[in-house]
Amino acid sequence: MRQLENYIHETLGTDIHPAPISKSGLGNLPMFIKEAYKLDYAILHNNNLILAEAKDNEHLSILQTTKQFEQIKKAFNKNVVLVAADMTAITRKRLIEHGINFIVPGKQMYLPDLLIDLRENFSNTKNKHRITHLLPSAQFIVLYHILHRNEKRKIEEHSFKELAKKFNYTQMAITKAIDNLKQHGLCKAEGTKEKFVRFNYERNELWNAALPLMVNPVLKKIYVDEKPKKVFMLHSNESALPEYSDMNPSTQEYYAIDKTAFYKLQKNNALVNANDYEGKYCLEVWKYNPLTLVGEMPNDRAVVDPLSLYLNLKEVRDARIEMALDKILEKYIW
């Protein structure tokens, strides 16, 4: 806890003095909670807290942590703060998504119950003018690189000009996308006459580094009563999850469509009863082309790529969906 005490003193200018909870004080807490955490009392800014120091940082389950913290909070009637010596970016991201208090000394302090959110680069003024998210084209390149890592010719073996042709972007758009990735330290460009992208991380590390910068691929949703004809679309949202998990398909049918194809349909009045609220089919208009991330020409049962699907649904608070998304990460990232 010494690192924690120093970190809080340096960042908040106040002192915290954790006090171990005795065995008798742990009362009727389940044994698995006692084995998973070292529990301490603490006071921070006049707030009584329970500090739960994780004994295993590498295998934190967000769902289990949420349930366990509810039990601890109920037992002590105090807010609970997860303390971990180290934590991956994706775990920190998901803890924030679930509103779980946590501190990683030296890196990040997120205490929504105390209205405190200090991140590892919070004092770095050089980052103030950065674009905070990846451009859709930059995100597309990262996802393609991760998903198609077994291709004979990987992205890193294609020049910018070849990438533009391969992905149906202009060469200027590819250059801008890779500049965006460079700005966030995810890659570098090599070559003089012809330039090539070189990523700074291996696959799972690249995902962890890029995830906080990634956006939901869906630009907007439009509901229609008839499925558009003569246009390739992919099952998306909850309609795609059965392909990657044991979930049953939803009653609402979801399809992903490239924005260019959508606006062409809209221009030709080919959307039946289009509206923002309800319809037999929900068209998710994407910021980048979902078809290009899929290896084969789509058929009637084809679905969007798993990582874009994760980015689409990661904000949903549904235990079934969260479990399905965890399976996606286990298979395609870890």
Overall domain count for the chain: 3
What's the DSSP call for residue 236? -
Tokens 């992208």 found at: 197
Beta bridge mates, 254? 282
According to DSSP, residue 1 is labeled -
Q: Compute how many other C-beta atoms are within 10 angstroms of the C-beta atom of residue 121.
A: 12
pLDDT exceeds cutoff 60 at 149: yes
Residue that finishes a domain, picked among 192, 213, 234: 213
pLDDT tens digits for range 186-196 = 999 998 889 99
Return the pLDDT at 116: 63
CA atoms of 112 and 139, how far apart (whole Å): 29
Residue 126 within a domain:
no
- The answer on 87 and 141 residing in a single domain is no
Q: How far is residue 63's CA from residue 22's CA, in Å, rounded to a whole number? A: 27
Rounded CA separation 238/245 (Å): 11
Tens of pLDDT, residues 221-266: 999 999 998 888 999 999 999 999 888 888 999 999 999 999 999 9
Least confident among 166-170, 274-278, 295-299, 300-304: 295-299
- Does position 16 have pLDDT exceeding 70, yes or no? yes
From 171-175, 187-191, 293-297, the region with the lowest mean pLDDT? 293-297
Domain that holds residue 71: 2-118
In a domain, 123, yes or no: no
Q: 187: which strand partners?
A: 199
In terms of domains, do 207 and 228 share one?
no
Let me know whether 66 and 103 are in one domain.
Answer: yes
Residue 124 covered by a domain: no
CATH assignment of the domain containing 10: 3.40.1350
Q: Does residue 114 fall inside a structural domain? A: yes
Domain assignment present for 33: yes
* The domain boundary residue, chosen from 118, 147, 168: 118
